[in-house]
Structure formats: structure tokens, C-alpha cells
Amino acid sequence: MNIWAYIFKRVLLMIPTLLGVVAITFAVIQFVPGGPVEQAIMELRKGAATGGGEASGGGASQYRGRQGIDPERVKEIQALYGFDKPPLARFWQMLKGFARFDLGQSFYHHMDVWQLVKSKLPVSISIGLWTFFITYLISVPLGIAKAVREGSRFDAVTSMLVLIGYSIPGFVLGVLLLVLFGGGSFLQWFPLRGLTSDDWDTLSVGGKILDYLWHITLPVTASVAGSFAVMTMLTKNTFLEEIRKQYVLTARAKGLDERRVLYKHVFRNALIPLVTGFPAAFIGAFFAGSLLIETLFSLDGLGLLSYESVIRRDYPVVMGTLYLFTLIGLVVKLLGDLCYVWADPRVQFESLSR
């Protein structure tokens, strides 16, 4: 099986997977109480309870407190949100929109879901991109150094440090950083909220860069601390596994320099698990924004958007982002498999397709 046949087969398999995820989520949503229609009715009842109801003929009130709403008004609300149609009709209409990459309109924000996602991306990209690169740039060299110096004091001390960082939740570290350096009880070195200052437009190019880095330091530090342990220990264990193999002993027996053995023979094979996970980690860093980190530092990103959409029952945003992120996840999984073959030519497409 050549590469193009494999890619074509995987793309065909993505279609039922994507449809299954969307269909199951849509079906679950139908049984979740407190949808947009119910929330709109609740708002009307609150207005009636505070005297906002209008009087109808005969002196009787159109709204009777919290006892109910005019059926005609309920039908209008259902039509407004599209709930006047059967579930299958709404599901089919949603799929036709997704096929055109039309993710729908947000009930709460009153704007296109795709435009809404793009408006939140700068925050998620800022946190995710810096977290991703800092994690890889520190963890991979550190893991190699720990593998080479296994059992040494350096190995023990660094293991303790990365595990301590892993054990501290990101939002707890964020609170600590704000208290220490964000104008809490001690120093006021960094801002409390946002990615930029209010006078961003008046700054020079260099000033904008410094202002951006100044704002992003604490959120990225809180986000990245827990990422070091997994990547560092994975790198170390992978290198140790390769170092103990027969071909390394043979290379050393031939009198090859230790540095050449490490970086020419061991390095490529040991990096295979890291390379294959690279696409997923890179894309996941953008879309796996931490709700607590964003809330703590007042950053309006995708994490906060997802949470608010579920709480407010903003179904177009829930379904649209689910469809988008699932599609991206399937494509990234395919790229990960292709990276695996690129990193290790011994792997064949026939074995990957099983």
C-alpha cells in the first residue's frame, strides 16, 4: 500500500468517526435540561415576577408570576432558536451546514461560531505555543542529560524538581505567582490580567513585544510547570531503553566516540516517540486551553468559551467547536502516523492500517 492509498483510506474512515461523535453528542443534548428555550422562558418569568408583565384584556395579567408563559410566546422562542423542528430535521440541517464549514450562529454571542472561535484563538495560541516550545526545548535536552547521567546526583535532584512541578496544579501555582509577583502581598512586577496593556496601540514595535512578553510571563509559567515531568521522563526512559540495546554496545565496541554513539545512533531512534506525538502536542497546545488559568489571569480564550457555552447551553458553539476540534484531532492523528513512518522507515503502511 503506497502513501496516497493509505491517506485516502484514512480520510474515508474519518467520515463515520466524525459523524458518530457529532451524532452521539447531538443525541445527548436532546435530553439535557435547561436549554436556550427554557432559559429564555426563565428570563420572561423573572421579568413577570418583578412587574415587567403587560396586562391583557379584562384586567387579567398576561403573565401569572412563575406559573407559566403564554403558549404563543413559547412557540415564538422555539422558532427563534430553531427548536420548532423535529430533532432529525435539525440534525440534518446542522450536518449540511458543517459540510459547507458553516458552524452556525451563537445563541448568546449572536455571531458566527467560526468567527467567535477565531476571536478567542490569540489567547489560546499565546499560551499554547509558548507552553509547547518551552516544554520541548527544556524537557528534551534535560531528559537526554538525565539518561546519560542516570543515578547521579544531577539525575536525582532534577527528578525531584520536575515531579514537584508536576504535583502542583497550574491554577495553584498561578495564584502563588500572582500573590508574589502580581501585586499581591509582595511584589508588583507583572500585570494581573489580559495579554496587552490599554495603551497597546500607542506603543512602538519593540514596546509591543516587551508589553506582550510582560503580560504572558505569569500565565505561561503557571501553564508550563506541570508539563515538564511527562516529557522529561519520557525522553529519559526512551534514551535509556535505546542505550541498553545491542547495537549501541556494538558501536562502543568498535571504538566509536561516546558523543557520536549518542547523537548519531541513539538520538534518532530515541526521538521516534517524541516525533510521532509532535503534531498532536503542537495542535493540542492551541485548543487545550486551561479554563482555570484563563479565568485566573482574566484571559478570554477557548477554554473559557467552551465552559460558558456548556453552562449557557449555547448549542451551536458546543456542536460547532466539537465538530471543528474532532476534525482537527483526526487529521493530526493521521499526521502523527505519517511522522512515525518518516522517523522510522522500517514501519510499513500495511501495519499502520491494521
**Residue 28 contacts by C-beta under 8 Å, 6 or more apart in sequence?**
none
**Residue 226 to residue 242: CA distance in whole angstroms:** 26
DSSP-derived letter for residue 295 is H
Judge contact between 234 and 274, C-beta under 8 A. yes
Domains belonging to the chain, first-starting first, are 37-100 (no CATH), 113-352 (1.10.3720.10)
Judge contact between 231 and 166, C-beta under 8 A. no
330-333 long-range contacts (CB < 8 A, ≥24 apart) are 330/14, 330/17, 330/18, 331/14, 332/279, 332/280, 332/283, 332/284, 333/280
Residue 52, classed as helix, strand or coil, is coil
Judge contact between 299 and 174, C-beta under 8 A. no
Residue 298: HSE in the Cβ half-sphere, 13 Å Cα cutoff: 10
DSSP-derived letter for residue 200 is G
Mean pLDDT by 10 residues, the chain (354 residues): 78 89 86 72 64 43 46 70 80 86 83 87 81 85 87 89 83 83 74 76 83 85 80 85 80 76 75 67 62 78 81 85 84 78 63 52
Instruction: Report the phi/psi class of residue 2: left, alpha or beta, with left for phi > 0 and alpha for psi in -120 to 50.
Output: beta
Residue 188, classed as helix, strand or coil, is strand
Cell of 44: 420572561
Distance from CA of residue 236 to its chain's centroid?
A: 26
Look at residue 53 in the predicted model and tell me its pLDDT: 44
How many CB atoms are located within 10 Å of the residue 353 CB? 13
Distance from CA of residue 283 to its chain's centroid?
A: 8
Residue carrying the nine cell digits 458543517: 98
| Residues 22, 286, 174: CA angle, nearest 5 degrees | 115
Residue carrying the nine cell digits 435540561: 33
Phi, psi values for residue 33, rounded to 5°: -75, 165
Buried b or exposed e, range 324-351, using 16+ CB within 10 angstroms = bbbbebbebebbbbbbbbebeeeeebee
For residue 274, which of 184, 141, 151 has the smallest C-alpha distance?
141
Look at residue 147 in the predicted model and tell me its pLDDT: 85
For residue 302, which of 108, 120, 56, 110 has the smallest C-alpha distance?
120
